[in-house]
Amino acid sequence: MPDWTGIDRKRVLRALAWIRRGLVKDVPEFFSGTVEVNETYVGGHWKNERTSIRDQKTKRGRGTKKQPVFGILCRNGLVWAEIVEKVDAATLQPLISSEVRKGSIVCSDMWRAYKGRASRGFVLRLVNRGDREYSDGKGNHIDGLEGFWGYLKRKLSANGGIRQDKLYLYLGEYVW
């Protein structure tokens, strides 16, 4: 953008950050109907880590050094995503309760954080991704949110990586 606008690069980045802050604030009040909930981990590729880190053979998936992000997708096309510290029931269940209207159908994978109290007031539909079950044939799936995670990660990698403290701005942009 600085090339074709003739404006200094830092000034363009400040303007984009200001716009992204506005996008972060523009979120729907509640999700209702059929919604999908899931989490993902955002961060650099394993092959791009320093050799000293790769030699430690740190595990991937849950428990990695990547940033966990929790998301809710309403089947009408709206998405909400938030950076979380942990992906446990104590963190995710209050988020589901605050963002999803009671009585909604909540589709998720079999991760234990979604079971139990999260199903109170909701109709919980679980898809066992571990057994390669991607849909139960009744319209219960989380493919929409999985597709959004893929889109988000492609967009973030196209930026050449971003700073961790700016991740919420990019989340707000791509959710919007």
Reported confidence tier of residue 49, pLDDT bands at 50, 70, 90: low
H helix intervals, the chain? 2-5, 9-25, 51-55, 89-99, 143-158, 167-175
Q: Would you kindly state where each structural domain of the chain is located, as residue ranges?
A: 30-167
Class of domain 30-167: alpha beta
Mean pLDDT of 157-176: 75
Whether this model's pTM surpasses 0.75: no
Looking at residue 59, its pLDDT comes to 58
Residues 100, 31 contacting (CB under 8 angstroms): yes
Condensed to tens digits (0 to 9), the pLDDT of residues 74-99 reads 888 788 888 898 888 888 888 888 88
Residue by residue, DSSP assigns 122-139 as SEEEEE-GGGT----SSS
